């Protein structure tokens, strides 16, 4: 089955430092989440996304295994992504949004 299984996005009205996005993401990701060491970069027009892949055993049972897919398209239970979106046209050091998702990339 394809499709997002869970999704959270926080947009900032003014650009914020990365630390703000990290703090917001930590509020909602599972406490047992472990960074897998994999990162991806996606150029989305005037924005650049840096995607970090995490795994959480506590969410593995929430959906069927084939509904989990991370940024590289791999289906693995408990895997989810945290994407930080930067404004590359105005100030590439400032964060525009943070997105947390499990399932197909939104």
47 within 8 A of 96, measured Cβ to Cβ:
yes
Mean pLDDT over each residue of the chain, to the nearest integer: 77
CATH number of the structural domain 4-103: 3.30.160
List, in order, residues 6 or more apart from 47 with CB less than 8 Å away: 85, 86, 87, 88, 96
pLDDT value of position 103: 60
Six-digit token pair at 102? 């499990």
Write down the pTM of the prediction: 0.75
Where are the chain's structural domains? 4-103
Per-residue pLDDT tens for 46-76? 778 888 888 889 888 887 777 776 666 667 8
Tens-digit pLDDT profile for residues 8-41: 788 887 778 878 888 888 888 889 999 987 777 7
Supply the pLDDT for residue 53. 86
- Which structure tokens are listed for 22? 């990290």
């Amino acid at each position: 089955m394809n499709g997002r299984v869970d999704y959270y996005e926080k947009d900032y009205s003014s650009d914020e430092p990365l630390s703000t996005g990290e703090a917001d993401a930590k509020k909602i990701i599972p406490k047992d989440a472990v960074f897998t060491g994999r990162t991806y970069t996606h150029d989305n027009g005037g924005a650049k996304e840096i995607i970090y892949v995490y795994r959480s055993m506590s969410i593995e049972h929430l959906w069927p295994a084939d509904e989990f897919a991370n940024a590289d398209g791999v289906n693995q239970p408990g895997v989810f992504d945290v994407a930080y979106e930067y404004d590359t046209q105005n100030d590439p050091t400032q964060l525009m949004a943070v997105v947390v998702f499990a399932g197909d990339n939104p």
